[in-house]
Every structure is written in C-alpha cells, then in structure tokens.
Chains A and B, each alone.
Chain A
C-alpha cells in the first residue's frame, strides 16, 4: 500500500480535498529507497522495481561497478600472485604449469639488473619530487602575490601539464639533439660550452638527468596548482594578526604559510610519487631505457620481462614485490599525512 502511494504521480492523483491529501503525504513520510526509486522511474520499469527491498536496490546500483572491479582489478591481481609462484610463460600456453614455490622471488631479488632498475627508479622519483615540490611551491608562492596578469601566467604555466606525455617525450628528444636541439643551444648560450660537446640522451651520466628535467618541466605546474590551493586556503586575517604581532615576513612564512600549506604539499608529493614510481610512457619515448639500461626504470624493466622475454612467472613476482612496496609506502605516508592534517 505504501509502495503504491509512492508511485502515484501528481497527474494520477487528482485530489480535490486538500486536507485529505495532506494526511496522505503525512502517512507516507520517510519512504524507503525502493519506493523513492519507483516513484521517479517510468511506469513499466517501476512495476518491476516496486517488489524489491532496499538492500536489493542498493546491490542493483553498485553491482555493475563491483563486478567490473572484481573482473579487471581484483581477479588479475590474485591471478598475478598465483602466477608468481609458477613457471608459466604466456607465449607457451600449452606447456604444463609447474608450482615452483618462491623461486621466482629469489631470482628477482638476486638479479643485479632489477637492483639497477630500482636504483634508476629511486633516482628518478626522488629528484623529480624534490625539484617539482621546490619549484612548484615557489611558483605557487609567486603567483599567489596576485600581481597584474597573474591569472594569465597561471594559464601559461599550466600548458605543459595538458600535453600528452608521449608527445612531450617525442619533442624533448628533438630539443635534446646535440646539433639542432634548442636545449643544448640554450645551455651553451648561458655557459659557453660547445652545444655539440654533450648529448643529454646519449650520455650515461646525463641521461638520468634528462628524464628528470623533462618530467619536472611537465609536472611542476601540477604541484604548483595543488600548492596554490593550499596557499589560497590561508585566510588573510591570520597574516594581519601576525603582522600586528610583529612577526617578520620570514617568520610568517615559517610559522604560518608553510605549516598551513603542508598537508597540500604532502598530497602533491604523494600523487607525484605514485605517478613516477610507475613512470613508463614518457621515458620510453624519450630514451627507451637507454643508453644501455641506464634509464630503464622498474616499470620498463617489468614490461620487457613480461612481454618481450615472456618470463610471465618471473615478472609476476616482480610485479607483486613492486605492488607491496608501493602499497606499503603509500599507506605509511597517508598515515603521516592524516597526522599533519589533524594538527
């Protein structure tokens, strides 16, 4: 009876007696979700919805999402864990799959190539985060001065972030060209070094920095944007109070600006850290992991092991190790972030 009252639309419900209508609406206060869904659904579909319980409706809504999530996220994850304990090779599907215990993990952890890749990743992640945070916060701090045209400059600064990373990798390859590249020309203009005397991508010592520079160029605006949000969230009257309390600009920065913007900075670091730990496309386009394997980050290494050498079990073990590492680090970091936010 309740359900039917809920389904009734005003057009069906030509009620002459206002008071009676009022009573009716009072009776069906607090309709269940199923009733409300039925009331706002076209008539034929509503008839089917009406019989369901609230719980069933809830499942009907989140079911597809949960299903997809299980199918393309959770199942592959578990399957990868399983495969990491086998000698499975994806290019030989007919071969018998053998359970080999933790031997893949032993191999991964004793492989010097893996450790080299980890080192390359660490170098890349640490330096990009340091540079992007310092530059991004600095830019945000300058833009926050609200000078004439600051909105225009904000837009200009955001452009690199809007480009596709494959495109960025490709054109920086040209910028880094020793003979015709703009980068080498600019460096030589300011330092007087012969532009063709160094090759950012070809040199073993310079290539790790080449990828750091490009990623910093591309993603500093992103860090700036988050820091800017943090700086804008600090109300002006706090600075005014500090000014009256005779705090120097230096002290205002250290005791107000930085602590209050810190949660935002930490968030930016988290996002950039996760992103760069799995960096792939930009570096593949730019250096392809070379020269040699000096810029071969773990994600590139993983892709080679899995889909070029087809060592599926082995690469699964590597993937599981990386997943646990990132997941663990991110969790610790989020805890620290929450503590900072709660201050």
Chain B
C-alpha cells in the first residue's frame, strides 16, 4: 500500500474546466472519500490517478515519487468502476483471476486459485465462481468487481461510486462490508461518491469537490461541524441544514421575515449581513422555548420525526426522537443552541 499525493492538478475538457488546481494527499492505509455533486470532477480525478486520463497540469505522486509518465499497468492501482465493468464472456472465477494472469505479474496457477478463493470468501461469492457474469444481479456483479480489485495487492484502491447502482438495502450492507474490509486489511482507498451518508460513515477523511475545485478537506466531524462554505453545509447532513439571511442590529442578528433573533458571537469580527446555518438537531422543541412557531409538516421516520416549523415567513427543520403526537398547525415553542450556530458571509464563506 502507498500514499498518493496530487499536486496542483488541472484538467480541461473542450467545453469545461473539469479540475482546477486540485491538491490533496491520501495517506497510507487511509480511507479517503471524494465527495461532490454530479459533474464536480470526482471521476476525472480518479481516472487521472489511474492514468486512464492525462492531466494538463500538476503531478501525481505515489509514496513521494512522481508517476506521471507511467501507464495504468505500471502504476499498479485497482479500479472499481461504477458500471461494474466485468468481462462478460468469462466466468466469475476467470474475472477474478484475470488481473493475476497478467504476464507482468506471473502468478502460478495454484496461488491464483488460493487468492481467488480467499477474495470470494471475503465477499461471500464462492457459490458464484462458476457462473457467467452476465447472469448475476447488480449486487453480485459489484461484489465480483470489488473482488477483482482485492485479489491482488495494489498500491491504492480507486472506487468510482461502486454502490450507487445498487438498491438501498444492498448499498447499506456493502457499505459496512467495504468499511470492515478496509479497516481489517488497511488498504489505502480513494472512494468517490455523491452520497454524503457514504462519505460520513466510511471516511477517515473527506475532500469536498465542487466545479473542479477542492472546497474543504477534513475528518467527517470537521466537515459536519465546521463546514467551510454554505455549499458544504447543505451538501452534508440530512435533513438539510437550515440557512437564513440575517442582518445585524445592536449586537443581535435578526433573521429576515421572522421574529427569530440570534446573539452575535463576541470572539470574532462579524459582518453586517450574514447567512446563518442551523442544524435541525440544534433546534430544540421545549415547552419553555424562547421562540414560537407553528407545525407546517411532520415526516415521521420511526426512529425520529422531522418537524417543519413555520416561524413568520421562514420554515425551519427540527428533529424529534421517535414519533411525535404533534400535528399540522399545532403551536410549538423552541430554543436554538447558540454555540452550535454556523455563520457565513453573503458569499457563503464561513466566518
């Protein structure tokens, strides 16, 4: 396993700039997640690391050594594609054995057999080994595709949204399996996803990418608790963060079109106009709350209920544990945890 470093990578396609000045390091044995919406340049980044695509500027380093001149085969990476990318005319066994049968690797057949068996056991696909890949379900195909990556010991695992074509249940269980596998074997993994839950649950560190630029890099807790921009704040967390514009008056921020008002933090210089971010779990429904509102909608999810509260002309989300007896149009009182407020300037940058 290796560490992988990207230095000032830029890539332009004929019509768009896919990546501009992207730099980050995936440390050895780290589970690193690249999170961003569709078209952010996540896949482009992966393909550049695998040498399936050539960057216009910048350089890729494996263990501190530039690998820009090397082909995909020489870089020795494993790639799990979103479309599974299995060889359709071969059996599952042959698919798994394919990378080991490369003349560049020269693995004896008994060892191939052993390693394929081992990978199949980890992914619980032993019973599928004799099948043709065309007859597998999506989940089985993706397991085989992950298996093809783990039969060998590459320098880094590159995974391009491997779970996004699967149904919710399967995605959840494969997510746990992947995480378990990565932790027990210590594989360096770069995982691309647009799903913030995958990012938060699996990552050691997350890099948030938007329009080809890195917005923030940090541990999941950093990203969630100290989002660098409103973009990151809204991208991460369900239900979505409450975001209001507010104006300052005598040391207090008044939220437009409602009677919500928040104290100004005293420890830093604050602008006149701000955007205030407020996580739903930081809006506490209590009988003695300082603010009043009306229930606009409830979304009972079983383990918790998402409450849409109308206050003035603003609607904010809150979370209650379990199922609530509150109904539409019921009046509620709530408090806001001041120490958990996020302030952003009008351009969306954290202050």
**Chain A contact residues, CB within 8 Å of chain B:** 235, 237-238, 240-248, 251, 255-256, 259-260, 343
Contact = CB atoms under 8 A, between A and B. Distances in A.
A247 B90 CA distance: 15
Interface in B72-120: 72-73, 76-79, 81, 83, 85-90, 98-99, 102-105
Contacts of A256: 87, 89
B89 A343 contact: yes
Contact of B81 (A237, A255, A260, A343): A237
3 residue pairs, one from A and one from B, having the closest CB atoms: A246-B102, A245-B99, A259-B89
B105 to A, nearest CB: 7
A247 B102 contact: yes
A235 B103 CA distance: 24
Interface in B158-204: none
A245 B132 CA distance: 19
Given A240-B52, A241-B79, A246 B104 contact: yes
B209 interface: no
Nearest to A248: B103
Contact of B105 (A238, A240, A246, A260): A246
A169 to B, nearest CB: 40
Given A235-B83, A343-B132, A244 B50 contact: yes
A235 B99 CA distance: 19
Nearest to B83: A237
Interface in B20-76: 50, 52, 71-73, 76
Contacts of A245: 98-99, 102, 148
In this complex, which of B76, B77, B79, B87 has the most chain A Cβ atoms within 10 angstroms of its Cβ? B87
Contacts of A243: 52, 71-73
Contacts of B78: 244
Given A246-B105, A248-B103, A240 B85 contact: yes
Contact of B77 (A244, A247, A255): A244
A238 B95 CA distance: 12
In this complex, which of A235, A246, A247, A259 has the most chain B Cβ atoms within 10 angstroms of its Cβ? A246
Nearest to A263: B89
Nearest to B160: A237
A145 to B, nearest CB: 18
A240 B73 CA distance: 10
Given A244-B79, A246-B104, 8 more contacts: A237-B81, A238-B85, A244-B50, A255-B90, A256-B89, A259-B89, A260-B88, A343-B134
Contacts of B90: 255
A179 B102 CA distance: 56
Contacts of B77: 244
A254 to B, nearest CB: 11
B103 A237 contact: no
Contacts of B89: 255-256, 259-260, 343
Contacts of B79: 240-241, 244
In this complex, which of B76, B77, B98, B148 has the most chain A Cβ atoms within 10 angstroms of its Cβ? B98
A248 B76 CA distance: 14
A256 B95 CA distance: 11
A244 B83 contact: no
A243 B47 CA distance: 12
Nearest to B145: A241
Contacts of A244: 50, 52, 72-73, 77-79
15 contacts: A235-B83, A237-B83, A240-B52, A240-B85, A241-B148, A243-B71, A244-B50, A244-B73, A244-B78, A245-B98, A246-B76, A246-B102, A248-B103, A255-B87, A343-B134
A233 to B, nearest CB: 11
Given A245-B148, A260-B88, A240 B81 contact: yes
Nearest to B94: A255
A248 B99 CA distance: 11
A238 B105 CA distance: 20
B253 to A, nearest CB: 50
A246 B85 contact: no
A154 to B, nearest CB: 24
Interface string B209-242: 0000000000000000000000000000000000
Contacts of B134: 343
A306 to B, nearest CB: 46
Contact of B87 (A238, A240, A246, A248): A238
